[in-house]
């Protein structure tokens, strides 16, 4: 028991997490490539043409994964930020900081692909409805988190301020998720529901899930690369960094 | 496979702008972001290597 706790805390130190992350990154890239190729193949060559939306619906294969990841990364970021606030572990704050730009990118892609889907189907790039507006707020939360951290010189204090912002912002995630139920919105309801069969063809569902996995693996690979840079930036005056780069 | 020609594939049934505009944006950002992250890592490594070299030179000139 005691030993397993020690084992887990071992990787909570930047010193052992830095090389571990370096070893994991190529595997996540490989997984992202495999899922991405399979997902794109299904997206364009296996999934049938939609009866109502023709070929235009194929935007779903990037729109839904980007939207899912934008919300999921926020939860993971808030989790790490909260953990850092509670336990004062160094790597937690660095993980939160490393995830924010990738989350912002996913939110931006979700909005962008949504606009490119909305234009042909609804006749407008943008409407101020609940789903779209709450996703836009998510994008601003990421930007606010990054700007707040960048504005505070002391990294530990930046972590704490960022953590509070991230935790308060979590309230926005259920709002995005349930917005299509709670309000009348132009945005369609969720295609995948936990308590009923998905309202789409099996092959479309597989394409979407594979693309979501590719986006997920991509996010981990990029965040780990960025966290390595952050570790070195913050720990540059420690002995282990001086020895690690020999 | 339901495309009869390459041209038909790129036309996307009249939705070319929207489909390729979406997939293209994803491709561009998802290529640029990892490159920026890698550059940030290699930049900090180079800085650290320079600092180390400076320390060593300091040390040598100090001891002689």
Q: What is the pLDDT of residue B1?
A: 59
Give the predicted TM-score (pTM) of the model: 0.91
In a domain, B2, yes or no: no
The total of structural domains in chain B comes to: 1
Tell me which residues of chain A have a C-beta less than 8 Å from any C-beta of chain B.
44-45, 48-49, 54-56, 58-59, 62-63, 66, 101-102, 105, 108-109, 112-113, 116-117, 119-120, 218, 221-222, 225-226, 228-229, 232-233, 236, 241-242, 245
In a domain, B27, yes or no: yes
How far apart CA A106 and CA A80 sit, in angstroms, is 18
Position A185 confidence tier, pLDDT thresholds 50, 70, 90: confident
User: Over the Cα atoms of chain A, what is R_g?
Assistant: 20
Per the domain annotation, does B9 fall within a domain? no
Is residue A143 exposed (0-12), middle (13-18) or buried (19+ Cβ within 10 Å)?
A: middle
Which residue ranges make up each domain of chain A? 17-49+59-244
How many angstroms separate the CA of residue B34 from the nearest CA in chain A?
Answer: 6
Q: Which domain holds residue B20?
A: 16-63
The lowest-confidence range among A129-143, A158-172, A228-242 is: A228-242
How big, in percent rounded to 5, are the helix, strand and coil portions of chain A?
80, 0, 20
Quick: pLDDT tens for A211-222: 999 999 999 999
Does B56 contact A at CB distance below 8 Å? no
> Closest Cα of chain A to B64: distance in Å?
24
CA A139/CA A141 separation, integer angstroms? 5
Q: How far, CA to CA in Å, does B7 sit from each of A10, A80, B13?
A: 56, 48, 10
Give the residue-averaged pLDDT of B28-35.
Answer: 97
**CB atoms B13 and A55 under 8 Å:** yes
Residues of A with CB below 8 A from B17's CB? Answer: 116
Contact indicator for A210, A35 with CB cutoff of 8 Å:
yes
Q: Does B20 touch chain A (CB under 8 A)?
A: no
* B15 to chain A, closest Cα gap in Å: 5
At residue A1, the pLDDT reads: 47
The vertex-A114 CA angle with A109 and A117, nearest 5°, equals 130
Residue B3 counted as domain residue:
no
**Are B41 and A105 inside 8 Å of each other by CB?**
no
The verdict on residue B21 lying in a domain is yes
Whether B56 is covered by a domain: the verdict is yes
R_g of chain B computed on alpha carbons: 25
């Amino acid at each position: 028991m005691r030993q397993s706790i020690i084992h887990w805390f071992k990787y909570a130190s930047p010193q052992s997490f830095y090389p571990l992350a370096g070893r994991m990154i190529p595997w996540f890239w490989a997984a992202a490539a495999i899922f991405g190729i399979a997902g794109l193949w299904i997206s364009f060559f296996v999934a049938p043409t939609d009866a109502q939306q023709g070929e235009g619906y194929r935007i779903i294969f990037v729109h839904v994964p980007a939207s899912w990841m934008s919300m999921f990364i926020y939860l993971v970021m808030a989790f790490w930020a909260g953990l850092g606030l509670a336990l004062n572990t160094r790597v937690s704050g660095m993980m939160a900081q490393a995830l924010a730009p990738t989350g912002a990118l996913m939110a931006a892609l979700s909005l962008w692909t949504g606009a490119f889907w909305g234009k042909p189907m609804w006749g407008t790039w943008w409407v101020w409805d609940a789903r779209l507006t709450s996703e836009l707020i998510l994008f601003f939360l990421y930007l606010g988190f990054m700007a707040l951290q960048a504005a505070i010189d002391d990294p530990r204090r930046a972590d704490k301020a960022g953590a509070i912002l991230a935790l308060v912002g979590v309230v926005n995630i259920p709002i995005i998720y349930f917005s299509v139920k709670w309000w009348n919105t132009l945005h369609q309801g969720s295609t995948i529901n936990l308590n009923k069969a998905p309202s789409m063809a099996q092959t479309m569902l597989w394409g979407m899930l594979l693309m979501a996995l590719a986006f997920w693996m991509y996010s981990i690979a990029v965040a780990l690369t960025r966290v390595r840079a952050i570790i070195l930036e913050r720990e540059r005056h420690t002995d282990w960094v001086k020895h690690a780069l020999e | 496979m339901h495309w009869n020609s390459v041209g038909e594939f790129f036309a996307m049934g009249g939705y070319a702008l929207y489909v390729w505009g979406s997939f293209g944006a994803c491709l561009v950002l998802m290529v640029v972001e990892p490159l920026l992250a890698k550059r940030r890592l290699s930049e900090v490594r180079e800085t650290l290597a320079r600092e180390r070299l400076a320390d060593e030179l300091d040390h040598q000139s100090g001891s002689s």
